[in-house]
Structure 1
């Protein structure tokens, strides 16, 4: 149960500052698919962006930084890293690294969600319904990209 509480806390830390847009079911499902190290990277990226925006006097920019933007930036960074690795053909075993990045869930842009909120909660080990707030009407409802 401790693992579930920790995982829920980490998911909430990524979502809690979303002031512009409501968190979508697809984004929570995507977060649930990430490994611990991928979530660590996203949290660090979010903290870095907020700190830099605040330091240069753009607090409003930091306030506008939401989960969708974080997901987009992570995708662009991972695609750039993948391209850099493929261009580094001089280093042995780089093909294996590129294959590893292909399996990374940060690069997953699929918005199809065929899981129920209960199934997502079970996979995380914590109740995620409070995270979704206004998006969940029925615990048994399945969601698609058009929800």
Structure 2
């Protein structure tokens, strides 16, 4: 599991760190950590539908922020729980472009009993960094 929850960071929120050997792996791990806050069993999210997510930002941390916010938006607006098996991040003219394939399904309360409802990603303690050979992110979610 390339993420861990941080119990002593935020009293009324949920915090986690996610990591991977590449930026893309770290983004995928952060997406799983986000979804796993809402549902106990990630395997219960069946990849029956596919959504393409395309975003851009000049900063990697803000790109991750926007990406996680997009997953929350899709949960709220379209009632989708999503996992992200593949992401590609490219850079052109000092702008980072994210193209992701998200797979999942509509929330089914019988199969997806929601543990908590994530409202938003916060900027409190939000950070992305490179440490040795891995990319890391710290995220605090408003629940």
TM-score by length of 1: 0.29
**RCO (CA 8 Å, sep 6+): is it higher in 1 or 2?**
1
Work out which of the two has the higher radius of gyration on C-alpha atoms and give 1 or 2. Answer: 1
> TM-score, length-normalised on structure 2?
0.29
Query: Going by fraction, where is strand more abundant, 1 or 2?
Result: 2
Task: Give the number of the structure whose residues are more often helix, by fraction.
Answer: 1
